[in-house]
Structure 1
Amino acid sequence: MINRPRSFRRVLMLRILLLSIPILLIGQAMTLRKARTSLLDTARQNLSSSAARKADELVSGVQAVETNLQLLAQTEPLKQGDPAAARAAVEQLTAAATPYQIQCVELRAAQPDETSVRTCDRGLALETEKLPWSSPDPTEAPPDFAIFSPGADAQLLQNQQFESDRREALIHFTVASPVYNEAGDLRYHLIAQVSLAQREDTDPRSLVGNTVVIDSDGFIITHPDQNQVGQKIFQVRDVERLESVIGSVRAGNSKTVHLFRFLPEQGEWLAGYAGANIPIRPDRQSTWTVLAVTPLNQALYGLKDIRDVLILLTLGLLSANALLAIYIARGLSLPIERLIRYAQAVDDTSEVKPAPRSHEIWELDYLGDMIEQMLERLKTNLVQLRQAWQDAKLASQLKNEFLANTSHELRTPLNAIIGSIQIVRDGYCDSHDEEMEFLEKADSAARHLLEIIRDILDVGKIEAGTVHLHFELIDLRRLLQDVLDMQTLQIQQKGLNLVRPELPEPIMVKVDRSRFRQVLLNVVNNAIKFTDQGSISVLVESTAAAATSTDPEAADGLTLLTLPQVKIIIRDTGIGIAPEQQHKLFQPFVMVDGSYTRAYEGTGLGLAISRNLMQLMQGDIELWSEGVGQGTTVIIRLPIRTADAHRLEPESPSGASESQALIGSSEL
């Protein structure tokens, strides 16, 4: 199949869209990338701040618990050892409004014979031997409180106390304080199981995050996945990153980290972390790791809205871009299409209409100008082609007429010659005089045939440029009188009146005598031939001499246009010539139309030969007629050679003023 070329409008639209659509898509991708980076930076900062805030709240809560528990240990009911009063004091502590929850308080007796008090059904799992004041170091003062992480028991505490759909994270730990009597002896171990509530916001637009707490021994105290609470970090996923986080916390850093296997079903998580320095004893602290974690898709939740806005904006820009492409393509293609229709509508170049203009794109206006100029040139070339076709048609017609005329002109004298000679040869003449009469007719026909052949040969020589002229200085009066005398008998036979010129003084011209005689005879003979009644007038006029020049490069050492001229005017009252036909007469083989060829003898070569000969003799010949039946005027021009001009002419080596001219290209 042949691939059909696309239209200019379609190509322009496609290129605009192919250029703009990638730019829009790249811009959208870059905007989304920038928005994601900004949202991610904001999420990191918020989660890092949330982790630090959670760590501060954990430390503050632990300190509040320690303070309240120490105050309880100093109350009189506990020091005196009255079980009922001690229970009332403990119950009062648990019922007080505090930022923490006391799940269970146990007043464990130091002596086996004394009664223990507790607020829960079972005793706490903390062993008495782990209390630092149970076996005090004699070199150190016994501490007045101690804090214990739940460790592996954190899972049990979570399952016993809380529901899975809570919006708070509870951090469990155990606080213990010694109770001494007035004598300073240890009476009770005051042990409380406490839970600190850390609010969690899992809303996608919130970056508070879930809480993860890891104690100093690596146990997970709280976690969004309840199954991981109470486990050590080497038992959970992302152990490498969690160990890295703990190391960074111990180094005093607070940053963010990406967790890829925190909860596999939710993909990547973002975590901010900070350290909480828990005072487990008055003189000792333990660093717990606090993390604020949230799924990455929730941290980047705002990106969805940005993406939706960008998609709508991109669709709008694409629609606007498509409309703009259509508008631009239409605006650019319409002038071109108008030029195409303008060029298609040109059927006749005789009347070229102005090309359409856009007045906005100068290149298209310039193209319209070029099309107009091209059409004008085509119009000119078409006129010339038509003229050449007419000339060729005329030349073909003239050739046919010339062949017909020449055939007729050649056969007529040949028939006369053959017929006359046969009559004499066969003895049909009655007398010698009759024989001489037929021989004279044969001689006249032979001379006429010779003239026809000579004219044809002259045309051939002129076209070939091989005619030689022999110039000599002659008196125009004598030559003209000889020509008129030769034609007097023929003029009288047709009953025409001949008006001769009066020439009292000699008129010197430099011509080829025989060729100039041939020109004069041809013109006078035509005047006689085409005039049946009336007169033939011959006039001679001369013009004054202009300034002369002795430029050696000029013809004959003179500028001929500056020489005085003589005009020979032959005017007849014959058939005349139509003005539109007069330009044809100086072409070879032309006699205006074929009908004249039959009525008057001739081949149509005379005037063409005459003009070429006159131009070679530095003269010219013109013909003019007012119309058919108005007669004809022929004017022959030649430069006059005065005595002074004759002295300026160079002499030939032989002493005669003779030169030979080789004819160049003729004006046929």
Structure 2
Amino acid sequence: MPKLGQSSFRRMLLSRILLLSVPVLLAGEYVTYRKARSGLLETARLNLTESAVEMAQDIDDWVKSLRSNLILATQSTILQSEESKNYQQFIKQLEEQLPTQVNCLQLVDLQTNEMKATSCGNEAITSIPPNQWSTEKPSDQVLSPNNVYIQNRIFKAQINRALNSENSTDIPPWRNRVQLVFMAPVYVNNFSDFKQLRYVLILESYLPLSWKDRPKSLTGFTVIIDEAGRIIAHPEPERVGVNIDQEADGPRLRNIINSALSGQTDFVHLFFFDQDGKELLAGYGAIPSPISQEKGNQWVILAVASLDDALSGLKEINSVLFYLTFSLIAASIIAALYLSRDLARPLERLRDYALTINSRESPRPVPQNLRIREFIQLGQAISIMVERLQSRASALELATKEAQIANQLKDEFLRIISHELRTPLNGIINSLQFLRDDLCDTPEEEQEYLDMANESALHLYSIVNDILDIALIQEGKLSLTQKTVDLVQIIQEAIAIQSLEIHQKGLSLKVHLKPSIKVWADPDKLKQVFLNILSNAVKFTKKGSITVIAEIEPIIHCDRITYESCEKQFQARILVKDTGIGVALDKQDKLFQPFVVVDGSTTREFGGIGLGLTISQSLMNMMGGSIDLYSKGENQGTTVTITLPVALSSSETKLFSNL
């Protein structure tokens, strides 16, 4: 029965799926919305900036084109011939040939202010500024476009008058446009080296700008502001001629002018540059001012669009996202119901199966037809786990028995070590007590007890050294100093130490040593190994002989995979044979284990704590060698084989290569 606060797997799975899927869907909708919005704004930014730059280029090209055409017209022979009867026809032809929209062309005599020719009535387009050009120029001098004087003709009062006239035919098809008046001097020949200023050719032209009321347009409507901040062109006529400092967005517009004059093209938001108060987006560019001859004066061209136009497609995206999210949430709920059921049913079957496992005996088979691979694998894993538990239970019983045996070995070792330590200590204590109580009759007897105490102390020292050595070896802290040593000399020194005991026991010693065998080893540790092996041979041999053989033997090393690339190497092999008590075959593999002796009783015949062979094997392994023990059985002697890598010179290698 479920306890309070617990929940079923199905309910938890359903709730978790919904808790994860619904926020993810909502977050996905929000991210998609923000991404779509930023994408639309980025598109608007690129389009408006490109539109502003293109419009600036169009205005600059328009001005340059009219300047060039006007200069070419002033060089006409018709105008310079002073045949006024041809002027009117020339003006008509020139108006038709010009590539841009021309409202009016007029030719005015500067001396009499008389209209010599016109294409738009006899009313003067504008007044001619005095002293704008020099009165004469050299005959060979050609006018440049800079000689063209330009005036701006779009004034707010004129636009208001045009808009207030309902039937006025002066209302242009484009409310937002820039209109300029171009004036170029005409010099005539006076049969000298200089030409005389006589006429002024005046041209009035306009360039249509983008229309404001174009829904969803990302090219924007165009606004022109001069360097001083005066609005040159705007779709709302009442704003033309107004300084931007009077606008609510004046500081932002002033920053735009400064950025444009510094050569930047950027993207900004405007909030109060429209009579409806809508948020606007603007891209901008700059061109040299066509109505100013001063270098550095520029016009700033703005392409402006409302934020609603830029984000017009966002409403459709929101609608799609809403219905899509609603559908996905409903689909998630349905999928979660089916998923929780399909996942919970096989899990419940596995639960029932697991509850039947209540003993070490094999339970009924694992449920089949779970359909889901992971659950099938889980059932197999449960079955394997049961088998492993049964196996581990058996292994635990075996480990318990081994622990009991190890505990017995520990007790046996403690008995042995206490006996081995007590024996030399008793010898030392007894000898010292005899000497302290002055119980010796002669100096020779005192020397005998001193020698006995010294031997017991050395034996005790040897036992302690063995225990310390095995501890350092097991901790990996025992260090070696390997070098090239004379193997024969080391063996002879070890034999010399054991020779007295060999002689006292009446054993025969046979030594067969090859001369000058050099090995790579630690001399002290190698000597310790030989002392351990010879000591064991002497200790366990009551009669007979001990044989020591040292020789060099070749070894063939080949690649383990291909068995090719073989090479001959050499090693030193030392055999120590005795005719002692031998070792039973079933006990030989335990001799190299620490603290293990064949006879573990306190009344055993031979002493020792069972560390000599263990230490010797560890030292040989550390020096790159090996040690092995073989005996045919009890009372059949023992052979210990020691191998070491040799250190041969190149000449010695050639010498032994024939082996």
Please classify the TM superposition score into its range, dividing by the shorter chain length.
0.3 to 0.5
Give the structure-2-normalised TM-score: 0.46
- Is the radius of gyration larger for structure 1 or structure 2? 1
